[in-house]
Amino acid sequence: MPQETIRSLAGRVAIVTGGSAGIGRLTAVALAHRGASVAVVGQNSERLAGACGEIRAAAATDSIALALDVRCESDMAAMAAQTIERFGRIDILVHSAGVLRPMGSGLKRIDQTSVAEWDHVVSTNLTGTFLANRAVLPQMIRQRSGDIVNLSSKSGRRGLAFDGPYCASKFGVVGLTEAIAEEVKSYGVRVQSLLPGMFLTGVWSQAGPLPAPAQLPPAERVAEMIVHMISLPPDTTLGSTIIEPSASQAETGWRGAR
């Protein structure tokens, strides 16, 4: 008999960082639809409660809201501990928490970028990835099973003007993910990264004066891809995968801005 090509997520336990909004929230709901229990992690308690309410309304699975900061080592340790206390295990981590630039900082060349602005982006996007992965890996290694998907960006393959800290952090996420994948694959833990291009997400609220391109695909496309990566059979990995709109957005909105 041929083996199943897509694994069921029913009964699995997932943590989604950045889960109160955007791609993270969509992914948390999508995982719940597939039968997973979900720990939703973010910093805004009100939005976290809303995400858990959406999960309860859409799926018959359990969820918890964890108001924690991915930049904080003790918070990430608490994330893993509270998930294990509630559900007994950790099967999935989707690390979606990230920031394009500090709110209100505007477009800046590297020589105009302050150390505080650099640290804010890198600590959220790269150090946060390290801390979140480090927190869940001991449990996954003990179980000898687990799936991690770290959200990078297409800017993790190509540097863009005025987004030096973001690009550097997202390049780092790809390298870190690939290193972790090599370290833990013998324990049955699969670690992959996804590099979204331009989709209609809340990141455009951080884009300063640049307009969003017209007719961007919805962020649900990215969430669907994350679920697919997790659902692949354990003998298959997509590594560091770019997902982007098929239609060209050249000379419109963000790409055409001067």
CATH number, residue 238: 3.40.50.720
Neighbours of 10 (CB within 10 A): 10
Which residue in 169, 154, 159, 69 sits closest to 121, CA to CA? Answer: 169
Q: Given this model, what pLDDT does residue 214 score? A: 63
81, part of any domain: yes
Cα 95 to Cα 149, 193, 218, 249, 252: the distances in Å are: 6, 9, 19, 27, 30
* Low-confidence residues of the chain: pLDDT under 70: 1-4, 199-214, 247-258
258, part of any domain: no
Q: Given this model, what pLDDT does residue 165 score? A: 93
213, part of any domain: yes
Q: Given this model, what pLDDT does residue 103 score? A: 72
| Backbone dihedral region for residue 11 (phi beyond 0: left; psi -120 to 50: alpha; all else: beta) | left
Q: Is 187 a catalytic residue?
A: no
Tokens of 6: 């897509």
Which residue in 61, 33, 63 sits closest to 50, CA to CA? Answer: 63
Task: Convert the pLDDT of each residue in 201-237 to its tens digit.
Answer: 665 555 555 555 667 777 899 999 999 999 999 999 9
What residues does 243 pair with on adjacent strands? 196
Given the residues 130, 166, 199, 204, the one annotated as active site: 166
47, part of any domain: yes
Q: Given this model, what pLDDT does residue 1 score? A: 39
Chain CA centroid to CA 148, Å: 10
Say what the alpha-carbon torsion angle 25, 239, 129, 228 is, to the nearest 10 degrees: 20
Helix (H) or strand (E) holding 189: strand 189-196
pTM, to two decimals: 0.89
257, part of any domain: no
The dihedrals phi and psi of 59, each to the nearest 5 degrees, come to: -150, 155
5, part of any domain: no
* Gap between the terminal Cα atoms of the chain: 58
Q: Given this model, what pLDDT does residue 123 score? A: 97
The dihedrals phi and psi of 155, each to the nearest 5 degrees, come to: -70, -5
Is the Cβ–Cβ distance between 105 and 152 less than 8 Å? no
1, part of any domain: no
Total structural domains in the chain?
1
Can you tell me which residue has the tokens 């393959």? 157
Residue 165: give the domain boundaries: 13-246
4, part of any domain: no
